[in-house]
Structure 1
Amino acid sequence: MGKRVLLVDDDPVILELGRAALEGAAFEVATQSNALGMLATLLRHDPDIVVMDVSMPSLRGDHAVGVVRRGERRARFVVLYSGMVVEELRAAALRAGANGYISKSVTINYLGVALRRLVEGGKRMGHGALMGSCEEADDET
């Protein structure tokens, strides 16, 4: 049985492409189109990993990390996913307490590979400066 992922993004195209890519990488996937609906899905799906877009209308993904961490069901890994400038994304992930970050400029098919690396305990999610774990960022300071 694959690891469970909750993908949260307000863009329906990203949700469908992300679902296909992650299911192709042997993850069980639930999707949610907003951060507020994410709470009910967290309880139903009990994900191992939550991947959240940072820029959503109802609640920013970086603000929702704390909600995910404090909830009754806690995802082991929280990753922020965004099209924002990578340096800003990395800083937002660190401030929020996320495990990692992935730029939307990375091919969506690579999402499963990056999450698998994170879950398997590697510090590097790969693909150079476009993604990384927050543990990597700690190592650089």
Structure 2
Amino acid sequence: MPATFATHLLSVTTGRTETVADLTEDCAQFLARTAHGRDGLLNVFVPHATAGIAILETGAGSDDDLLTALQTLLPADDRWRHRHGSPGHGRDHVLPALVPPHATLPVVGGRLELGTWQSVCLVDTNVDNTDRQVRLSFLG
């Protein structure tokens, strides 16, 4: 059976607050349309210099804990050399070094193979950019 490649661009509005947005259902819907029961890989990529993709538990406080940890590691103050936008915006440009702009995940039988409490999340600390794009690509 020849390999299949499919891609889709999601539009995500993150708002004017730091956000961890759960994309797991979007990923599942994409795979339902494209994987057709195949095994393969799902790549999730955010083409922005100030956002990242994380695999973590959501809804039990871990998403807020991640934002708190990022605020501690990357405070929004005037220490950053990159200085346009909101105060401390330079930290947003450092975020992808800690939360990478991509994740590649296994797909088994056409379904995302995540652990029990794992979710695919967009992490966005840039309050100046409320609209994000996320590219989902399946190879299987």
TM-score band w.r.t. shorter chain: under 0.3
Identify the structure with the greater helix proportion: 1
Identify the structure with the greater strand proportion: 2
What's the TM-score once normalised by structure 1's chain length?
0.26
Point out the structure with max Rg over C-alpha. Answer: 2
